[in-house]
Amino acid sequence: MKKIAIILSGSGVFDGAEIHESVLTMLHLEQLGARYQCFAPDIQQHHVINHLTGEEQAQQRNVLEESARIARGNIKALSQLNVDDFDALVLPGGFGVAKNLSSFAFDGAQSSIYEPLKHSCQMFAQQQKPIAYLCIAPALIGHIHPAGTLATIGNDEQTAEAVNQLGATHVACTVDNIIIDSKQKVISTPAYMLAESISDASKGIHKAMQALIAMA
């Protein structure tokens, strides 16, 4: 049975991990016969958004504590992730990836990445273990993998150009499909960069998890 690590970035599309993408990842992995363990960095969120109004709130939240909501409490700090214990890795999307795990939401092509996350991902890559990046998470690929690694965030030209400038090679992709870089063992799918419903998001994520397990 394959064991997959999932790295979350909070709870909620606008300031953390995209909840539907995170849950669909867990569901499809389980249905495909794999086990998973969630992780998240024990750091403060960049900011907190009221998901009802879209307005920023004057409060602080912890990425690990918020991610625990999605994982039903079964989660570990990113610092506890031992690559040797897992066959593959998944990073669901959501603005937490672009605000908490990196500065992509603010700096685009000049963005930086949270170094402990970069280290963990590169350890998976060095051991030739596959990684799936969902939604906006492929914006991290240029920080982690060799120049030219294939990636997709769907078809948004401005975001795609920033992905290219960071060193990845963007490939346009429909919501129900995936892009695979077989050499680097990197899988990406647009999910809610394009999805108009949870069913839409599910199609590409299911394919991505199938490919991830096959590659592992």
Active site amino acids: 135
Residue whose pair of structure tokens reads 């495909």 in the numeric block: 32
Three-class secondary structure assignment of the chain = CCEEEEECCCCCCCCCCCHHHHHHHHHHHHHCCCEEEEEECCCECCCEECCCCCCEECCCCEHHHHHHHHCCCCEEEHHHCCHHHCCEEEECCCHHHHHCCECHHHHHHHCCECHHHHHHHHHHHHCCCCEEEECCHHHHHHHHCCCCCEECCCCCHHHHHHHHHCCCEECCCCCCCCEEECCCCEEEECHHHCCCCHHHHHHHHHHHHHHHHHHC
Amino acid of residue 21 = E
Amino acid of residue 43 = I
Contact (CB, 8 A) for 46 and 100: yes
